Structure 1
């Protein structure tokens, strides 16, 4: 495409990264409520459903930002693997081990203390192999995407807008046709090369360099409409499916569902066209952004420790408890990563 990304005006990506980081914590603080459907009051469950639906954009937006920040650059393969890839992998390995050891401690204190040394080593290896914490699935996924970035970036930098849109439209088609209600119309054509999170990478890059001819005010109104539409479908769809099955159904929470895609595009476009000029807020945002990867890695550990002392989503009414626990977790997580980063060699493992 002829349009190019203005690397001198990427403050909006910093703002968006911080919003997504807080959104991830908010989501994980909320999540447990949803699985308690039928055993808690409707008002509390609805609080969880609404709150969770509001931040479902966070993972797709993270992936879209990866496309924004990486696809427009030229790489030597060795340089990319050393500087970019290792920057992701080393902190991931360190915190994976921390989570595995934490789980082992819980396991031992839970009464399972008869494991031999070799059984412990085997258990730890299995944990590391399959993910020592549920939220680390994202890192496994993004590592796979990073391996493909040097190849994808060379294509996209030489592709025409028509060719990029061709890829995006086929990706959208795979999302559409994979909806259960449409599965009977699916043709047995292998479209896996256009499926999954890779489409968010390309879409994020495209939306970041695409200049629309309509006014920013109109763009903001469209983005707000997309957010409201996507979130509303998520909330109501989840509710009706859950009631129908008499148990929580997370189909509409999928990162590759059309409703989450709609909301994610709305959030992405909105922040691309919003400028935060207040110096106090920009400093806070920049600080959080600098440690956002580490915050993602450590926040589940912080939430688990907070849960041990009963500081969780229901220590007060969840309407207030969820935002409050999110803020506390964010502050503790940033503090941990900041301190680790200041230790010798800490910058390599802090994230």
Structure 2
């Protein structure tokens, strides 16, 4: 078995791209509301194409868990403690933060619908429009200990096939409206795991076939690039024909693996372009923190920004302001003691030990672009 790499830039690159795509969805959505709930050709394209971001985040969640347990094994107590600290506490904090923020700013009382409805909405990430993804991740965590029964490439191939059928059934054939009461509410949630399960399982599949698929993607990156262009054209046809399409649509079970492999294939090239490599590394490191905070920054910006910022020609500037404003806010929060309980930011340090440095160099596929950094576990 090959060594576990402590720092996988291809996954870091995926993180950064997924983060930027999610921001593009929400900033273009703000343009939609600022223009009387209408898109133009550009903002609609940005909004719809960028919906690849959320399923990429899902596959990264599956990959990181499975890649680590593939090499280090699984310890239930450590898993529970780690997930609660890195995901659970930030989810609780930011759910409460956004509920309080909306209460004081807009007078929205989350208890108006009753305690039962409040608990349902809170659990499924409905405290604010982006937190549903955190709820989906939690549901996958509940499933993850069961997945420890599967350790071989063959079993993960079988799981991937099963996930395809479950996801398709959940999106196209399953009708939650036939169920009443609490069960019906649960099954109709946007954060219903079976409607997203393929992307998590694909992440696990990727972890078990990492070396093979990385070599494949690097060898065939040009063909994969053409495939991504085809996906882009197909996505335009899809939303123009069907209207607005969700992030977990059936076609993304084809689109996301191809896009993922392409990004893996060009990872080595990106490391050679400093003006791309450095900012993407920073964004990848802060991606989950950016995900949690950016709606607050966007909301505040919408409240105070002059109308000129909502012209289509100003979109790149508006997007950059939201991104930089979010990063600045993250940096300020990181100055607060115990900030790691409210923000998920993987720590990266310089390797002081010569053995660690050499170990990383041995693991890195980029012989001409070695970085003496490792993840601090």
TM-score w.r.t. the length of structure 2 is 0.72
**RMSD over aligned Cα atoms:** 3.5
Contact 1:22 1:326 in 2 (8 A): no
Contact 1:36 1:45 in 2 (8 A): no
Cα distance in 1 between the residues matched to 2:251 and 2:283: 28
The partner residue of 2:156 within 164, 188, 210 is 164
Cα distance in 1 between the residues matched to 2:215 and 2:88: 41
CA displacement, residues 275-306 of structure 1 (integer Å, 9 cap, x when unaligned): 12345543333322222211111100111000
The partner residue of 2:256 within 243, 249, 264 is 264
Cα distance in 2 between the residues matched to 1:228 and 1:273: 15
CA displacement, residues 208-236 of structure 1 (integer Å, 9 cap, x when unaligned): 42415986565213322332333323322
Contact 2:170 2:194 in 1 (8 A): no
| Equivalent in the alignment of 2:97 | 98
Cα distance in 1 between the residues matched to 2:214 and 2:117: 55
Q: Secondary structure at the match of 1:31?
A: helix
How many residues align? The count is: 317
CA displacement, residues 157-205 of structure 1 (integer Å, 9 cap, x when unaligned): x23x33322222232234455665x89xxxxxxxx99943222122123
Cα distance in 2 between the residues matched to 1:306 and 1:56: 22
Q: Secondary structure at the match of 1:294?
A: helix
TM-score w.r.t. the length of structure 1 is 0.77
Map 1:1-351; keep pairs closer than 5 Å: 6-8=4-6, 10-32=8-30, 40=38, 44-72=39-67, 73=69, 74-108=73-107, 128-129=122-123, 131-152=126-147, 154-156=148-150, 158-159=151-152, 161-176=153-168, 195-208=194-207, 209-210=209-210, 211=212, 216=217, 219-241=220-242, 249-250=243-244, 253-274=245-266, 275=268, 276-279=271-274, 281-310=276-305, 315-318=309-312, 320-351=313-344
Cα distance in 1 between the residues matched to 2:215 and 2:248: 28
CA 1:176–1:96 in structure 2 vs 1: closer, same or farther (change >3 Å)?
Answer: closer
Unmatched runs of 5 consecutive residues or more in structure 2 = 175-186, 345-377
CA displacement, residues 26-82 of structure 1 (integer Å, 9 cap, x when unaligned): 111112556799975xxx522122112222211111111112211131221111111
CA 1:142–1:179 in structure 2 vs 1: closer, same or farther (change >3 Å)?
Answer: closer
Q: Secondary structure at the match of 2:309?
A: coil
Q: Secondary structure at the match of 2:51?
A: coil
Cα distance in 1 between the residues matched to 2:48 and 2:96: 31
Cα distance in 2 between the residues matched to 1:38 and 1:346: 38
Cα distance in 2 between the residues matched to 1:350 and 1:341: 8
CA 1:76–1:39 in structure 2 vs 1: closer, same or farther (change >3 Å)?
Answer: closer
| Equivalent in the alignment of 2:179 | none
Contact 1:311 1:325 in 2 (8 A): no
Contact 2:16 2:283 in 1 (8 A): yes
Q: Secondary structure at the match of 2:248?
A: coil
Cα distance in 1 between the residues matched to 2:237 and 2:227: 15
C-alpha displacement of 1:101? 1.1
Q: Secondary structure at the match of 1:273?
A: helix
CA 1:81–1:37 in structure 2 vs 1: closer, same or farther (change >3 Å)?
Answer: same
Contact 1:18 1:292 in 2 (8 A): yes
Cα distance in 2 between the residues matched to 1:47 and 1:5: 45
